[in-house]
Chain A
Amino acid sequence: MVSSSLEELSLMADVLIVGGGMAGAWAATSAAQAGAKVVLADKGYCGTSGVTAAAGPGHWWVPPDPPAARDTAVASRIAAGLGLGETEWMYRILDQTWRTLPTLARYYKFGVDDEGRVNYRAVRGPEYMRALRQQVLDHGVTILDHSPVLELLARSDGSIGGAGGQRRQVGGRAYRIAAGAVVLAAGGTSFLSHLLGSQTNTGDGYLMAAEAGAEMSGMEFTAAYTIAPAHSTMTRSMAYAFATYYDVDGYELDLPFGPEQTVRLARALQRGPVYCSLDRLPDDIKARLHTISPNVPLVFDRWGIDPYRDRFEVTLHNDGTIRGIGGVRVDDVNGATSVPGLFVAGDNASREKVAGAISGGGNVNSAWALSSGVFAGAAAARVARSTKSRSTELSPLGQAGLRPRGRPKDVDKAAARDGVRAEMHPFDKNLFRTGAGLAASSQTLEGFWNEVANHGQASSIALRETAALLATARWSVATAAVRNESRGLHRREDHPVQDARLAGRLLSGGLDRVWVALDRRSAGVQPGQLKAVS
């Protein structure tokens, strides 16, 4: 740990929640409602941290009446999910979201549309997270802000009994929390792209889960990208639904609104700069854009750009596992992992079962973050109740970036972080993938990983984050290399079509040595399939 003269802070809880974004805040509420004493620790500030806080999540929302509506929604999502979704899970989150979201009305003023109907599904990020923080506090939860969790702690039987971290606004004071159960809700990662609100999400929850023995699922699906004005973080896509695009010579590009738009935009960006105009946005929306999404017009205004008349340069920022779908494999819909005492929620978990092989952004992700938080919080509270021990005899599990395998020495963090960006962001490497390109990425990442894991001593939070970014990138690249086909977000230039034998989820894991294997429980998997996966 960062050396600090302060004595370690020691706390006890029934349930510890790691991460205070949407999923963590719902998990904390749910665990407290189940009677647990809850501590929530966030790297930043619960209320502004995480990708929800700066955005505006629309939830997957289908009322139970008429019943056919949910059947239709689930059936179409199963079809769109290309064999990786699970019907049962989709019904569960639709139902939970519909029941739970309106209960926030005490803290969040839901919008009323022009016909006077309350709209629950579309909420504004800063207000939503502010409301969730208040709800969490009113439930008696202890919040530790600016307190990144650095590692999990295990009991002698291997079950998870707490976590340790550092209070970065209290002189780097170390803390440890002994708990009956732990919920990881530390979000996904954009591999440090400029995706809005994503800088505290460095994949820490994935690394900590793997160190405890959990496996990942769906890590190949990191090729999601979102448009933003060049040099800005404003990856909010609504206004672009009506965009017109131009190349550098002023010729209009054929980039119609629809599912293929991002890929076509990426190809255009490979050829040169792309400019955009929002002149086709309907006038009534132009007039209200600042009260729909106030941070969107703000960017243009400060740059002196009139987006309805001028053409401005655009770019794409990588979404990684955020609007991608990989994460810790969830064993059952209650958020249990394969490790006793350890639960996951939100983007920290794989969303393949609810989103399929395509992005969960725009609706499913939020419904999942909310529902999985509610499920995991309640389940963790149940486990904590039956686990009498709040043992302080706990072993720390942190490895890379905390405890070097070899002789400690200074590691060039900046180079390693840039290395992750350089493998995970470029279109020719992560969006338009090839076997040869993935092999080269793997080799580069392996080099950085060895450097950090062998020599990185516990000198800073950033080094631990670097280890997490590298671990996540390695799983992603390894899984993408095994999926010798194109499916949903995963696109292989050398295998452009779907392969029916690969209609299953791919698990991955391992720290020193990365492994990939077929999840035999995938709905589409027949016995004897997939010899290709080693």
Chain B
Amino acid sequence: MIELIVAERCTDCGACIEVCPANVLDPGRDGLPVLARVEDCQTCFLCELYCRADAIYVAPDCDRRVAVSTEDVLASGRLGQYRKHSGWDEWAEQFPNEQWLMENVFRRAGEAAAQAKVTSADVIRTK
């Protein structure tokens, strides 16, 4: 669930409020978006993707809240990681969209499984 918006990074552009499909955020008085309905967050990370200021941290935990501190998140270097690896905006040249490789992975897995069936003696219950 969304846990944090880093105040000193947020430019108050409002994008996260608009794009959050679950309507988790409200505009705040001081400009900063407010995490108004965290319990509705569907942990989709899409607010992060649309935040060009890399100010949002969504924890992968969807069924429990976790304590997250601004210092730790800033130090981890993970802010903006999803936007970067997705090759959005300024990252377009460095991180190509290689989604097309997915079917290749499934095909190779199928071949490997077929191969394993033919060659393997049972490896069940070995550590």
| Pair B98/A111 contact, Cβ less than 8 Å | yes
Flag B85-127 by CB within 8 Å of A: 1 or 0 each.
1110000000111111111011011101100110000111111
Query: What residues of A have a CB within 8 angstroms of the CB of B116 in the complex?
Result: 256
| Pair A231/B18 contact, Cβ less than 8 Å | no
A233-B44, A252-B123, A256-B113 given; A200·B22 CB < 8 A: yes
Residue of B nearest to A228 (CB): B62
Query: What residues of B have a CB within 8 angstroms of the CB of A232 in the complex?
Result: 43, 60-62
Distance between A255 CB and nearest chain B CB, rounded to angstroms: 10
Sort chain A's interface into a size bin: 35 or more
B70 interface residue per 8 A CB criterion = no
A435 interface residue per 8 A CB criterion = no
* Partner among A45, A111, A293, A295 whose Cβ is within 8 Å of the Cβ of B20: A45
Give the distance in Å from the alpha carbon of A53 to the alpha carbon of B19 in the complex.
11
Give the distance in Å from the alpha carbon of A231 to the alpha carbon of B117 in the complex.
32
Of the listed stretches A30-38, A80-88, A123-131, name the one at the interface; the rest are far from the partner chain. Answer: A123-131
* Partner among B42, B100, B105, B110 whose Cβ is within 8 Å of the Cβ of A233: B42
Interface residues of A in 93-134 (CB under 8 A from B): 109, 111-113, 119, 121-124, 126-127
Distance between A169 CB and nearest chain B CB, rounded to angstroms: 7
Query: What residues of B have a CB within 8 angstroms of the CB of A194 in the complex?
Result: 42-43, 62-63
B64 interface residue per 8 A CB criterion = yes
| Pair B102/A290 contact, Cβ less than 8 Å | no
Pick from B81, B86, B95, B113 the residue with the most CB of A within 10 Å.
Answer: B86
* Partner among A119, A200, A295, A298 whose Cβ is within 8 Å of the Cβ of B100: A119
| Pair A288/B18 contact, Cβ less than 8 Å | no
Query: What residues of B have a CB within 8 angstroms of the CB of A303 in the complex?
Result: 60
Flag A163-180 by CB within 8 Å of B: 1 or 0 each.
000001100000000000
* Partner among A45, A229, A251 whose Cβ is within 8 Å of the Cβ of B21: A45
Residue of A nearest to B95 (CB): A291
A111-B99, A292-B98 given; A45·B43 CB < 8 A: no
A256-B116, A298-B60 given; A122·B102 CB < 8 A: yes
| Pair B18/A145 contact, Cβ less than 8 Å | yes
A189 interface residue per 8 A CB criterion = no
Give the distance in Å from the alpha carbon of A401 to the alpha carbon of B76 in the complex.
45
| Pair A241/B43 contact, Cβ less than 8 Å | no
A138 interface residue per 8 A CB criterion = no
Give the distance in Å from the alpha carbon of A49 to the alpha carbon of B21 in the complex.
5
* Partner among B18, B44, B123 whose Cβ is within 8 Å of the Cβ of A196: B44
| Pair A199/B40 contact, Cβ less than 8 Å | yes
| Pair B126/A258 contact, Cβ less than 8 Å | no
Distance between B83 CB and nearest chain A CB, rounded to angstroms: 9
* Partner among A54, A257, A282 whose Cβ is within 8 Å of the Cβ of B45: A54
Distance between A244 CB and nearest chain B CB, rounded to angstroms: 10
Interface residues of A in 210-239 (CB under 8 A from B): 229, 231-234, 238-239
Flag B72-84 by CB within 8 Å of A: 1 or 0 each.
0000001001100
A146 interface residue per 8 A CB criterion = yes
| Pair A299/B42 contact, Cβ less than 8 Å | no
A54-B45, A232-B61 given; A256·B117 CB < 8 A: yes
Give the distance in Å from the alpha carbon of A353 to the alpha carbon of B52 in the complex.
43
* Partner among B22, B49, B102, B123 whose Cβ is within 8 Å of the Cβ of A56: B102
Flag B33-59 by CB within 8 Å of A: 1 or 0 each.
000000010111110011000000001
Interface residues of A in 292-320 (CB under 8 A from B): 292-295, 297-299, 301-303
Q: Please name 15 pairs of A and B residues whose Cβ atoms are closer than 8 Å in the assembled complex, sorted by A.
A: A44-B20, A45-B21, A54-B44, A111-B100, A113-B101, A127-B97, A231-B64, A232-B62, A239-B105, A242-B105, A242-B112, A252-B124, A252-B126, A293-B99, A298-B60
Additional pairs, 14, CB under 8 Å, beyond known A241-B105, A294-B86: A44-B22, A45-B19, A53-B21, A54-B44, A194-B42, A194-B63, A199-B22, A232-B61, A232-B62, A241-B110, A282-B105, A282-B108, A292-B105, A302-B60
Give me the 7 closest cross-chain CB pairs, A-B, nearest first: A44-B21, A241-B109, A111-B100, A119-B100, A199-B42, A294-B85, A49-B21
